């Protein structure tokens, strides 16, 4: 998708060469879901880019959920209605079920769809279907790095053979409340670091979709959902949400750790999850993409 276009005009005798540059038009953005992450993304984009980005549509299950939406944004509750909206880019952060509900329509209408709820791709059939829709429509299905560091390196390293990928997720006990962790460990009694789950990324992301959704991102970047090993840890001394990655393969060895501040409006998510989405959106139209 190109927003800056230049036209070369061959000069005739006695004329000088001229180059006409078109003015960049605003990127038309759609959100699937209007929870804490997408609201944060919209706020940061508004503060940083102003009128260079237009929030054209917000996709919701219920119109009543459309609280404090940006002026001019169309609230949509039926995927079929997307065909009436001009969109360049769509961002999903509404949970696994929303990917299945809105994914096909988004890929048919917009030039790219970012799926933050990567745990949805534990469903191999869904992933294959959306990839097929993207190929048929010449669009892109993108998975953001989320709260992680080193995802680009893992994806590059996976060009060669990878032997092992380990993803360890460490959060304060309170961040695991309301999840299956409460069935595996007495969170209120933890006095030191406790690993309460060890298994594949597929199992971790499926069982803990809010807290371990990011494990699917690691897996999709590297050796897959069934070969990526995940450990989930409740640590009373943790001051934030920490991700520790260890990767070994023909490229060498990677070891990286990142500790994120929780998202103020939702401690189960990280601020970095929203920031990674902002970067992806901005890189669709900035002349210097990073």
Continuous H helices in 9-55: 36-49
Task: Estimate the crossing angle of helix 271-282 against helix 36-49, to 10 degrees.
Answer: 50
Q: Whose CA is closest to 214, among 90, 71, 83, 117?
A: 117
Q: What is the DSSP string of 247-262?
A: EEETTEEEEEEEEEPE
- Pairing mode, strands 241-249 and 162-171: antiparallel
- Pairing mode, strands 241-249 and 252-260: antiparallel
**Alpha-carbon distance 61 to 212, whole Å?**
24
- Please say whether the beta carbons of 245 and 165 come within 8 A: yes
Q: Whose CA is closest to 280, among 22, 27, 20?
A: 27
Burial code of 67-86, b = ≥16 C-beta within 10 A, e = fewer? Answer: eebbeebbbbeebeebeebe
Q: Give the HSE-up count for residue 56: Cα atoms under 13 Å, Cβ half-sphere.
A: 20
Report the catalytic residues.
243
């Amino acid at each position: 998708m190109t927003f800056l276009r230049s036209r070369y005009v061959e000069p005739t005798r006695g004329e000088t060469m001229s180059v006409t540059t078109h003015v960049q038009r605003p990127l038309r953005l759609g959100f699937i879901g209007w929870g804490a992450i997408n609201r944060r993304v919209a706020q940061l984009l508004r503060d940083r880019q102003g009128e260079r980005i237009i929030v054209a549509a917000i996709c919701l299950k219920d119109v009543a959920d459309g609280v404090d939406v940006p002026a001019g944004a169309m609230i949509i509750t039926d995927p079929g209605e997307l065909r009436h909206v001009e969109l360049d880019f769509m961002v999903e952060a509404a949970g696994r079920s929303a990917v299945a509900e809105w994914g096909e329509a988004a890929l048919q209408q917009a030039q790219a769809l970012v799926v933050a709820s990567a745990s949805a791709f534990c469903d191999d059939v869904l992933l294959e279907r959306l990839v097929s829709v993207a190929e048929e429509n010449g669009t892109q299905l993108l998975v953001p790095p989320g709260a992680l560091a080193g995802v680009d390196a893992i994806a590059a390293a996976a060009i060669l053979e990878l032997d092992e990928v380990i993803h360890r997720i460490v959060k304060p006990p309170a961040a695991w409340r309301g999840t299956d962790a409460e069935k595996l460990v007495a969170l209120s009694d933890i006095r030191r670091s406790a690993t309460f789950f060890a298994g594949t990324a597929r199992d971790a992301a499926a069982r803990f979709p809010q807290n371990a959704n990011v494990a699917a991102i690691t897996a999709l970047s590297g050796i897959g959902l069934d070969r990526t090993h995940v450990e989930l840890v409740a640590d009373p001394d943790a001051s934030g949400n920490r991700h520790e990655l260890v990767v070994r393969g023909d490229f060498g060895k990677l070891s990286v750790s990142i500790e994120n501040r929780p998202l103020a409006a939702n401690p189960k998510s990280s601020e970095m999850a929203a920031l990674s989405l902002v970067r992806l959106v901005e890189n669709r139209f900035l002349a210097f993409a990073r």
